[in-house]
Structure 1
Amino acid sequence: MTRPYRSVLYIPASKQRALEKARGLAADAIIFDLEDAVLPEEKAAARVTLARFLAEVDYGPRLRIVRINGLDTPWAREDAAVFGGLAAVDAILVPKVDGVAVLDAVAGMTDKPLWAMMETARGMLNAGVIAAHPRLEGLVMGTNDLAKELGSRFRADRLPMMAGLGMCLLAARAEGRVIIDGVYNSFRDHDGLRAECLQGRDMGFDGKTLVHPDQLAVANEVFAPSEDEVALARRQIEAFATARAAGQGVAVLDGKIVENLHVAGAEAVLGRAEAIAALAD
């Protein structure tokens, strides 16, 4: 059964109320953020606070990812030392990964699986080798930082982002990695969020990073198989099995060919639906 990653929520490591509230939120994964969400003068205290919460609070089935500070800062090594050895941490998210050297460095500090923030132009160009790193489990798009580096403007269709998004998607799929779309900043604009989630889902992303709990319901809905999709998947599998039993290599369902590749896709849909249902149990 494949773990769902529909909704990946950023939680500031310095905000005790948010850390407490997160235990009851319907997020598939949480990124506990020590980097952008924490002021420099609060980083040492945030590290202590987060370590305490992760040791004491049960976050249930949610994947627990800690985003450490960049290796070019004075906080990174202590972040990695503390959270790289904490049993309650499932993965370490490394910011601004533009090549494998930074992943090699963090891999030498912890045995945890690594995730990479993809948010620089060089990172886009090196997406293939980054995704191939043996310790890497997932990629997270940092579209705000990427837009800043590119000097691009916001567009609802995200046209300026398409080259980078596409390169990272190709790299993730080539290496079998999870890949999560970037954030939608206007957290009260649910229509805009839905449109961007639909775009990301149709492109092939596994889910979306979120900046506010109010965005969870939309992401969870959009990145989950619909009832119609689940029903179609079951019908495709059944039609193909019937065709094979009759000695045929393909089936026809609703006037469309059903081959092995369609069956594999249908099985993946059912697997996602089962994994999502298991989270709700």
Structure 2
Amino acid sequence: MTLITARPRRSILYMPGTNAKALERAKTLPTDGVILDLEDAVAPEAKEEARVAVARMVKAGGYGNREVIIRVNALNSPWGPADLEAAIEAGPDAILFPKLSTSLEVIAAHEAMEALGARPSMNLWAMIETPRAILEIASIASASTDTRLSTFVMGTNDLAKETRARLTPDRTAFHYALSASVTAARLYGLTIIDGVYNDISNVEGFAEMCWQGLNFGFDGKTLIHPSQLETCNTIFAPSAEEVAHARAVIAAFADPANAGKGVLKVDGKMTELLHLEMAQRTFAIAEAIHTRALDGES
């Protein structure tokens, strides 16, 4: 049986690079990952201060098993090249580039990381937040075959701004963009994280959008406030019933009596080899989440 390893990315919390208290607090929050932001959350006059602060925090460590991502400013901006140099020296798990809209831009970002000596394990994450990115999403995803690209992050607020479509609670105007991005990500084996929910006080609305994102196929959601973590982690984690069924599927295919069979009946349902792969991933995610809980990080 093939063993599948998986890293939970249920919750990825944005933290502004200028907020030292927030950067420190992120080390104790039950989030799967933190994006230390040098771009949208930082005013132009504070860019250099934020760069120094974020680099210092990442070098100091202390984030445990939480994935640490630095979002830099665009490489063609006044701050982007210096951001990238400082970020790579600091050594996060990934660099998040804003507004990557073509495969050539992904390749350029990759080559910039290579030129600065980024360690092999440092990934490239891409914000998907422009109309052109949506129209070229399959091409962008295909760049992952020759670059460090591993993850898409949806920038739904920027998409709303650029398309002038209304970001309604049901996100009807964005269904194509969301679905196309998930489809392209899956074609090339990428992780994909849903965009943020802006109304922090609307707990029910946030939960509904998490469920919608899960149903679209997203791995998790980007967040703008720690109060959103518990709901997000719960919804994007496999339920007890899903884990139990995954165990049953894995056990059924591992049973010597079923050797060579491509179709089985498990819990009264027709189950094929494709369901075995799904079950293995579900179980791997559940195990990883359990390990994080034992470590006190979720």
TM-score normalised by the chain length of structure 2: 0.90
1:66 match: 70
1:217 match: 230
Shift of 1:51: 1.1
For the pair 1:262 / 2:275, whether they are aligned, the reply is yes
For the pair 1:101 / 2:104, whether they are aligned, the reply is yes
- Please list the CA deviations of residues 202-246 of structure 1 after superposition, one character each: whole Å capped at 9, or x if unmatched: 111000000000000011000000111111111222334448537
SS of equivalent to 1:231: helix
Q: Is the 8 A contact 2:196 2:224 kept in 1?
A: yes
For the pair 1:75 / 2:79, whether they are aligned, the reply is yes
Q: Percent identity?
A: 45
Supply the distance in 1 between the matched residues of 2:57 and 2:225 (Cα, whole angstroms).
Answer: 20
Identify which of 44, 49, 54 aligns with 1:50: 54
2:127 match: 117
Identify which of 148, 151, 173 aligns with 2:186: 173
Q: Is the 8 A contact 1:31 1:64 kept in 2?
A: yes
Alignment of 1:74-223 (within 5 A): 74-87=78-91, 89-110=92-113, 111=118, 112-133=122-143, 134-223=147-236
Shift of 1:247: 6.6
For the pair 1:25 / 2:29, whether they are aligned, the reply is yes
Q: Is the 8 A contact 2:252 2:258 kept in 1?
A: no
Gap regions ≥5 residues in structure 2: none
Shift of 1:258: 1.2
Supply the distance in 1 between the matched residues of 2:267 and 2:38 (Cα, whole angstroms).
Answer: 51
Moved over 6 A (4+): none
Residues 192/200 of structure 1: CA separation in 2 closer, same or farther (3 Å cut)? same
Alignment root-mean-square deviation, CA = 1.5
Residues 257/79 of structure 1: CA separation in 2 closer, same or farther (3 Å cut)? same
Shift of 1:103: 2.2
TM-score normalised by the chain length of structure 1: 0.95
For the pair 1:273 / 2:286, whether they are aligned, the reply is yes
Q: Is the 8 A contact 2:72 2:84 kept in 1?
A: yes
SS of equivalent to 2:167: coil
- Which amino acid is the alignment partner of residue 8 of structure 1? I
Supply the distance in 2 between the matched residues of 1:26 and 1:18 (Cα, whole angstroms).
Answer: 14
Supply the distance in 2 between the matched residues of 1:125 and 1:246 (Cα, whole angstroms).
Answer: 45
SS of equivalent to 1:103: helix
1:3 match: 7
Supply the distance in 2 between the matched residues of 1:102 and 1:34 (Cα, whole angstroms).
Answer: 19
Residues 70/248 of structure 1: CA separation in 2 closer, same or farther (3 Å cut)? closer
Gap regions ≥5 residues in structure 1: none
Q: Is the 8 A contact 2:56 2:90 kept in 1?
A: no
Supply the distance in 2 between the matched residues of 1:12 and 1:272 (Cα, whole angstroms).
Answer: 28
Supply the distance in 2 between the matched residues of 1:190 and 1:71 (Cα, whole angstroms).
Answer: 36
Shift of 1:250: 2.1
SS of equivalent to 2:83: helix
Supply the distance in 2 between the matched residues of 1:185 and 1:277 (Cα, whole angstroms).
Answer: 29
2:245 match: 232
- Please list the CA deviations of residues 151-209 of structure 1 after superposition, one character each: whole Å capped at 9, or x if unmatched: 11122211111111111111100110110000011112111111111111111100000
- Please list the CA deviations of residues 7-43 of structure 1 after superposition, one character each: whole Å capped at 9, or x if unmatched: 0000000100101111000110111100000000000
Residues 123/248 of structure 1: CA separation in 2 closer, same or farther (3 Å cut)? closer
Residues 248/92 of structure 1: CA separation in 2 closer, same or farther (3 Å cut)? closer
- Which amino acid is the alignment partner of residue 127 of structure 1? I
Q: Is the 8 A contact 1:71 1:77 kept in 2?
A: yes
SS of equivalent to 1:186: coil
